[in-house]
Amino acid sequence: MTPKTLFEKVWENHLVQPQTDDLPAVLYIDLHLVHEVTSPQAFTELRQRGLKVRRPDRTLATMDHSTPTTPRGLDGLIPVTDSQAAAQLDVMRKNCADFGIPLFDLGTTNQGIVHVIGPEQGLTQPGMTIVCGDSHTSTHGAFGALAFGIGTSEVGHVLASQTLLQNKPKTMAVTVNGRLENGVTAKDIILAIIAKIGVGGGTGYVFEYRGEAIRALSMEGRMTICNMSIEGGARAGMIAPDETTFEYIKGRPRAPQGEDWDRAVAYWRTLPSDEGAVYDHEIVLNANELVPMITYGTNPGMGMPITATVPDPERAEDASSRMALEKALRYMDLQPNQPLLGKPVNVVFIGSCTNSRIGDLREAAKMLRGRHVAEGVRVMVVPGSQNVKRQAEAEGLDKVFRDAGAEWREAGCSMCIAMNGDQLQPGEYAVSTSNRNFEGRQGKGGRTFLVSPLTAAATAIRGVVTDPREFMREMEYA
C-alpha cells in the first residue's frame, strides 16, 4: 500500500464523495463549533429555507468574541453593557434553543473560547474533522484532527448538511529538530516558522508539524503551534497523536470511556504518517537555534529574535516588501535598526486562543510570583475558559496575578479581538500573547508586539520589552 500522511488518512476517511475534475470533494464534518459572531447570518439562511440542523449532537456553541471579561456583578452574572453585543448574544441563545444546539452560555460552568473548550471537554479527538467559523480552528489539529476555519456561508452548509465542499489541499511537512533552550517556548517556534515563510507562505497547504522539538511539547504547546498555522496562510496544521495526546484526552468529560477508549486509542495509533509518506513541500527548523521571538510589524510574519533589531526597509528584497515594511514601521512608530529590548509598553495582555490555557497561566505566574508589575503598565490576564479560571484559582494563580498588580478577568477572547470592551487606546503599545498584530487588531490605532507568555510576564515586570531568559537565569527557573 502507498504510504500515507496523517492528513491523507483523515481526509480519505471523511469523503462522502471524492473529488473529481468537475467537483470538489464532499467532506463529512465530525464536530462543528459555533460562536456568536460568525453564525447569526447562517441561522437566518436556515430559517428562510425552512431547514433544520442535521446533527445538533455534533454541534456545540459557546460565547467568546463579543463577550465582556469584566468581573461578575453581585448577582454573579457578567454584565453586558454594550447593547449591540447583548443583542448578538440573545440571538445566539435563541438560535441554539430553536435548533436544539447545546450552548455554553456566558459565565456558565463550561463557557470559554471556542478553541479552548473543545479540547478541554475531550470533544477534540484524533482523526476527526472539525470546523468552526473562525480561522483559529486550526488549533484542534494539535490532536491529529483535520480542523480548519470556514466562512459563514459554510457554517450554514455544515449546520444543514453536516458536509462541506472542499478542494484537496497540498501537504507541507514542518520539521522542528533539536531541543528548546530554557525560556524558549512553543510560541517562539511558531513565530519563527511564520517569520521564515511569511504570512502567505502556507496558502493552499495543510501543515504537519513533526520532529523532536514538537514531540517534546505538551498538548498545550502543540495547540499554540497549530493555532497560528493560519498566520502562515495554512488553513490547518496537524500533529500526529501519541502518548502525550492520549494522556491529555483520557478522563475528560466527552472522551471515550472503558472499551470505547481502548478501541479509540487503537484507531488513533493508526493515524500517524506512514514511513515514506510523501509531502508536497518540507521546511526544517532547528530548535537549538531558536531564541524568544517578537513581532515588530503589522502582520505575524514580521517577527524576529527578541535580541535582534528592527529590519531596515532599505535592505528589503523588492519594492513591494520595502513599501510594506515602511508602512508597518510608520504605523508602529518604529525606526529601522532599532532594538525592541527596552522599549516601554503600556499594556501586557496574557490570553487568547493561542495562550490562555492553564499551562500558559502557570508559566506567567511562576515569573510574576513575589514580584510586581511595573508602574503605569496595565497587565490583563484572561483565562481561556471558566474551567481554566477555576483551575487557576484552585492553584492560587489568581492571587499571584492580583498580588503582582495584574487584572484577573473572566474568560473570553478579550483584547485579542477588541470587540468586547477590552482594547488599546490609539498609539498605545501592547505586548500580547495573542496571534495577530494587524493594524487596529487590539483597538483602533493600537500597536501590538506578539510574544510568548514568558516574554509577556517578563515585560510586565520591567515595563519594557524584556528577554525572559534574564529572569530564567536569576530564578534558576526549571
Partner 1 sequence: MEPIKTFSGKVVSLPINDIDTDQIIPARYLKVTDKAGLGAACFSDWRYEADGSPKADFPLNKPEHQGASILIGGHNFGCGSSREHAPWALVGAGFKAVISTYFADIFRNNALKNGLLPVVVDQETHRQLISLAEEDPTTTVTVDLASQTVILPDGRAVSFPIDGFSKHCLLNGVDQLGFLLGLGDKTAEYEADHPARVNTL
353-412 residues near partner 1, rule: CB under 8 A = none
H or E element that contains 96 = helix 83-99
Q: How far is CA 462 from CA 90, 222, 363, 369, 470, in A?
A: 42, 29, 17, 14, 11
* CA atoms of 140 and 130, how far apart (whole Å): 8
* Residue among 38 and 111 whose Cβ is closer to partner 1: 38
Q: Which stretch binds partner 1 (CB under 8 A): 1-9, 19-27, 269-277, 448-456?
A: 19-27
70, 110, 161, 391: which one contacts partner 1 (CB under 8 A)? 161
- Look at the block and give the residue holding cell 497560528: 228
* Residue among 102 and 339 whose Cβ is closer to partner 1: 102
- Look at the block and give the residue holding cell 473543545: 118
Is-contact 140 10, C-beta < 8 A? no
DSSP β-bridge partners for residue 284: 175
The answer to the question of residue 91 lying near partner 1 (CB under 8 A) is yes
Is-contact 304 338, C-beta < 8 A? no
Nearest 5°: the CA angle 158, 207, 175 is 160
The SS3 of residue 2 is coil
Is-contact 143 249, C-beta < 8 A? yes
> What is the nearest approach in angstroms of partner 1 to the Cβ of residue 181?
31
Size of the site for partner 1 (CB under 8 A): 87
DSSP β-bridge partners for residue 176: 285
The interface with partner 1 within residues 288-307 (CB under 8 A) comprises 299, 301
> What is the nearest approach in angstroms of partner 1 to the Cβ of residue 235?
5
Q: Which stretch binds partner 1 (CB under 8 A): 131-139, 189-197, 358-366, 403-411?
A: 131-139
The answer to the question of residue 178 lying near partner 1 (CB under 8 A) is no
The interface with partner 1 within residues 191-230 (CB under 8 A) comprises 199-200, 203-204, 230
64, 154, 363, 422: which one contacts partner 1 (CB under 8 A)? 154
The answer to the question of residue 140 lying near partner 1 (CB under 8 A) is no
Backbone angles phi, psi at 50, to 5 degrees: 65, 35
The answer to the question of residue 38 lying near partner 1 (CB under 8 A) is yes
* Residue among 301 and 359 whose Cβ is closer to partner 1: 301
The answer to the question of residue 37 lying near partner 1 (CB under 8 A) is yes
The answer to the question of residue 339 lying near partner 1 (CB under 8 A) is no
CA 365 from chain centre, in angstroms, equals 20
* CA atoms of 145 and 160, how far apart (whole Å): 22
What's the one-letter identity of residue 85? A
* Residue among 2 and 167 whose Cβ is closer to partner 1: 167
The interface with partner 1 within residues 48-87 (CB under 8 A) comprises 49, 51, 54-60, 65-66, 82, 84-85, 87
What secondary structure letter does DSSP report for 66? S
Cell numbers found for residue 391: 483551575
The answer to the question of residue 152 lying near partner 1 (CB under 8 A) is yes
219, 226, 277, 324: which one contacts partner 1 (CB under 8 A)? 324
* Residue among 268 and 471 whose Cβ is closer to partner 1: 268
112, 119, 156, 303: which one contacts partner 1 (CB under 8 A)? 156
Q: Which stretch binds partner 1 (CB under 8 A): 144-152, 340-348, 352-360, 398-406?
A: 144-152
> What is the nearest approach in angstroms of partner 1 to the Cβ of residue 188?
21
Closest CA relative to residue 295, chosen from 343, 236, 259, 223: 343
Q: How far is CA 238 from CA 180, 235, 248, in A?
A: 20, 10, 16
* Residue among 211 and 443 whose Cβ is closer to partner 1: 443
